[in-house]
Structure 1
Amino acid sequence: MKIYSFLISFIFVNVSSTTTEMDYMKDVAITNAHIELALKTNNFTIKDKVVLNGLEHVIKKIIESRQYTLEEMNNMLVVPEYLAFCHDLGALREFQKGVRDKIQLELNIPVPEVPDEIDFSKLVLEELGAKRRKFTGIALKNMLNRIIRKPENVTNLINERRHLGTDTFENKIIRALAGPEKKLSLSCMCHLIALFMSTKSPESHIKHIQINPDDTCTLKDDNFDRENKTYKTYGQIEGQWCQVIGNEVQRLKELL
């Protein structure tokens, strides 16, 4: 009887381990669909404040919550296929759930229902990750663009209306009415930059942000203790956000 119980237990553990990875991929796919809905939610108000985009709002709230490490946020928003930092698939599923919970809380968008005919066995985690970056990359780029570029003036836009197409004019007016991005802390700005750079180079596995005494930050990967390794540093030089690698300086807006 004991041997029988052991065999049943052994079989259960093995089945669980094979289905757990599938469950995780299913979670990533559902979260992708939820994120896409958030990205398509534009121009609404929260507490009388104009919000340009739902996904941008959710990303900002996740960063500002300080609930997650940079590595965890990378998994949630940019590189869900990178599993090396956490071998507990249950924990990884919780991170995906965390994104969906935030979308529901902030935007009141329900989690998409899963059609019965979807065959999740055909999912490829790397493809799901690429799709995630397609959505979050747009939001992160737009957020950084608004922060580092001069805000548009509503009066000037109205005076220039005759030179603008209707759609272009309306979009510019909405952006102007929303006002400039609220001034972010150095830490929050550096997290935005780190997440965006991860969308461009997901293989870099940025894990750490070092805040420097000169009000700059340095992004570091797995090998952050390795000697003689050159890392990318970000900060404002003469009022412009820049990337510094060694002695080379490049404006951040040129990298977006």
Structure 2
Amino acid sequence: MKLIGFFVPFILVNVSADVFEADYRKQVLVTNVSIMEAGTDRLERIIEEMVNEVNHFDTFGKLNFMIAAPDKLNILNCIPVSDWRPMSYIDKLIDYQEVMGWKIRRAFRMTNPNINNNQDFGSLDLTTLAQDRRDVTGPALKNIINRVLDEPVQVIPDDGALKRMCCLIGLYMSAQFPTSYITYTQIDLSNRTCIVLNGITEKIYRKNRGVWVQINENGTELQRLQDQLV
């Protein structure tokens, strides 16, 4: 099967103790507060906008890092070098988190979160902070996918619909199963399939007879996507 997707150069990154600095953990916390203040319904709107924006949020790794995997620092290896502005690695990590929070606050005219700046941000557990985010973004992603599945049947999705669903599936899988988070998404335009990869295994999805399903490499149906939304 020939895969047609986005070529993403590999960036060598040494994940050292420096990337766990207090400034990054603080920013994850600040963005979390904005996400929680927005609530599920408004968060769904922001996520849909980010998935649909072509110019600034068309890289899956970037979306995944902001929405579902802020603790998976190596995910920046999946982001093209061309997307990086001249800044340090830790500053880039912080920048992506700031963008997520800024998108929410701008859309709903929210003020900056009121947090205790005297706390020891370096002692915050990054995995816990990330799971706090997934506990909110996961249900939002599930609701978005369910709405797409409820849309009028498009037997063969066009390129935009295929790309959107592929991105949503990858984000949802990362939020639901963070230990095997998705690193890449690819689309096969000739077969109208979506492939999501976690670095070890891949899952293939296609719309068969108007229903999104997971298939194997031979095209045999394995499970409906609807049944995977736990």
Structures share fold, TM-score greater than 0.5: yes
Counterpart in the other structure of 2:199: 222
The match for 1:193 among 169, 179, 188 is: 169
**What's the CA shift for 1:231?**
2.0
Q: Is the 8 A contact 1:208 1:220 kept in 2?
A: yes
**What's the CA shift for 1:18?**
5.2
Alignment of 1:63-102 (within 5 A): 63-66=51-54, 67-68=56-57, 69-86=59-76, 88-102=89-103
State which drifts further: 92-101 or 81-90.
Answer: 81-90
Secondary structure of 1:185's aligned partner: helix
Say which structure, 1 or 2, has more relative contact order (CA 8 Å, 6+ apart).
Answer: 2
Q: Is the 8 A contact 2:19 2:90 kept in 1?
A: no
- CA–CA separation in structure 2 for the residues paired with 1:101 and 1:142: 23
Secondary structure of 1:250's aligned partner: strand
Counterpart in the other structure of 2:107: 106
Tell which structure's C-alpha radius of gyration is larger: 1
Q: Is the 8 A contact 2:65 2:75 kept in 1?
A: no
Matched, 1:255 2:228: yes
Counterpart in the other structure of 1:134: 135
Q: Is the 8 A contact 1:236 1:242 kept in 2?
A: yes
**What's the CA shift for 1:20?**
6.7
Matched, 1:234 2:222: no
Give ranges in structure 1 of 5+ residues lacking alignment.
1-16, 41-52, 152-183, 224-229
- CA–CA separation in structure 2 for the residues paired with 1:106 and 1:190: 25
**What's the CA shift for 1:117?**
4.5
**C-alpha offsets along residues 132-172 of structure 1, whole Å, 9 cap, x if unaligned?**
11010010011111221368xxxxxxxxxxxxxxxxxxxxx
Secondary structure of 1:198's aligned partner: helix
One-letter amino acid matched to 2:179: E
CA RMSD of aligned residues (A): 2.4
Secondary structure of 1:71's aligned partner: helix
Provide the TM-score with structure 1 as the length reference. Answer: 0.68
Counterpart in the other structure of 1:244: 215
The match for 2:183 among 207, 213, 226 is: 207
**C-alpha offsets along residues 84-112 of structure 1, whole Å, 9 cap, x if unaligned?**
23381110111001101111222222221
One-letter amino acid matched to 2:196: L
- CA–CA separation in structure 2 for the residues paired with 1:121 and 1:28: 12
- CA–CA separation in structure 1 for the residues paired with 2:179 and 2:20: 24
How many residues end up aligned between the 2 structures? 191
Give ranges in structure 2 of 5+ residues lacking alignment.
1-16, 77-87, 153-159
One-letter amino acid matched to 2:61: E
The match for 1:58 among 40, 46, 60 is: 46
CA 241–95 in structure 1, closer or farther in 2 if over 3 Å, else same: same
Provide the TM-score with structure 2 as the length reference. Answer: 0.75
Secondary structure of 1:55's aligned partner: helix
Identity of aligned residues (%): 34
- CA–CA separation in structure 1 for the residues paired with 2:151 and 2:132: 31
